[in-house]
Each structure stands twice: as C-alpha cells, then as structure tokens.
Copies of this chain bind each other. A is one copy, B any other.
Amino acid sequence: VKRAAARKPAPDTRGRIEEAAIRLFAARGYNGTSTRDIAGAVGVTEGALYRHFPSKDAIAREVFLKRYRTIAEGIAAVRARETAFDACLRSLVTFLFEIMAEDPAGFTFVLLTQHSHLQYVPDDPDTNVVEAIVRILDDAMDAGEIRRGDPQLAAAMALGMVLQPAIFHLYGRLPRPDEATIEAIVTSMLRALR
C-alpha cells in the first residue's frame, strides 16, 4: 500500500512561514514579532526558518514585495481594462476593498510597513502603486475628465479617501464597507476631482 506516500504532501513550510509572518507582523508589528513567534506559529523550530530565508528581515521584505506586487498588478489590470475614467475609479476602489476583505493581514501589513520597504520599489508606474495612480489622474486631466491641478496632490487626496476609510474599518470605527459605501466614496472622489 502507498499510504506513506499519500500522507506526505502539503508541508509547504516556506508558504506557511510567509502566512504566519504576515499575520503576526500585521498584528504586532515587525519589531514586536520574534523569530520564535513565527516558528512557533508554523510549528517548526527557529532553525528551520533559516533553511528558507537568510534572515528575519528577508522574510518581511519578501512578504511585503509579494503583496505589494499583487496590488500593483491589480491596478495595472484595471487601468488597462477600463477606458472611461469614472469606471476606472470605481473599479480601483472596488479592487482595493476586495483585497482588503480577502487578505486583511496582508493589506494591513503593506499599509503599515510600506515606508520601510518602498525603497525597494522602483518609481516605475507598472510596479509603483502611487505612480500608477498619479499617471491615471494625469491622463484624466489631459483628457479633460477631471480638472487640472498637481497630479501628486490629487493622487494623495484620492488615495486618502480610500485608505482612511479602510483604516477606520481595520480599527473598528467603520463596519465592513458594502456596495453603498464604495459608491459613496467613488461619488465623493469624482466630485472632489472634477
């Protein structure tokens, strides 16, 4: 019988380290999480961590860049798909709340630690979330869909109108954003930008 062989699959220790790390980092912060915490959550010894990553710092960087890339790629996809500015904005806001709902720990971790890691992200709009948004708004200004102004400032305000409600939700001040909430945010953003 092959029972032994059939039992073997699904250790995937590396993936489980990443999951545990992101969850703990989001909850307690990088410095507030020890390698013992991570190893304990995974169910291995600390030594095992170093079979998969060269250092604690490398775990955080790896995990950040992976999540960050997911967000950047999602934004690029929306940008490519939606030609009308209104629809693009609506899709972007919907997308951001979707990934926040799907992976709250990952979203929180990226939100809270972005400034420690953003130095490793190039300013290229295909990989940098903020640059992508600046570009979208700049194009919309060129097309006359929103009024002219500093695209960096417009991007900051637009981003703030999404992230601050997201933060309010993560800290329990707002319930999980529903369709109506997203619509209210998009409406306000369009009014602010036009």
Contacts and interface: CB of A to CB of B under 8 A. Distances in A.
- This chain: copies in complex: 2
A182 to B, nearest CB: 11
Nearest to A163: B160
A161 B159 CA distance: 8
Contact of A156 (B31, B115, B157, B164): B164
**Size class of the contact patch on chain A:** 20 to 34
Interface string A122-142: 000000001000000000000
Given A31-B32, A164-B159, A192-B161, A153 B171 contact: no
Interface stretch (A40-48, A68-76, A183-191): A183-191
A96 interface: no
A173 B191 contact: no
Contacts of A31: 29, 31-32
A188 B192 contact: yes
Nearest to A154: B188
A118 B185 CA distance: 26
Interface of A: 29, 31-32, 115, 118, 130, 149-150, 152-153, 156-157, 159-165, 167-168, 171, 173-174, 181, 184-185, 188-189, 191-194
29 contacts: A29-B29, A29-B31, A31-B32, A115-B171, A118-B171, A130-B173, A149-B184, A152-B173, A153-B165, A153-B174, A153-B181, A153-B185, A156-B164, A156-B165, A156-B167, A157-B161, A157-B188, A159-B160, A159-B164, A160-B160, A160-B161, A160-B163, A160-B165, A161-B161, A163-B164, A164-B164, A189-B192, A191-B192, A191-B194
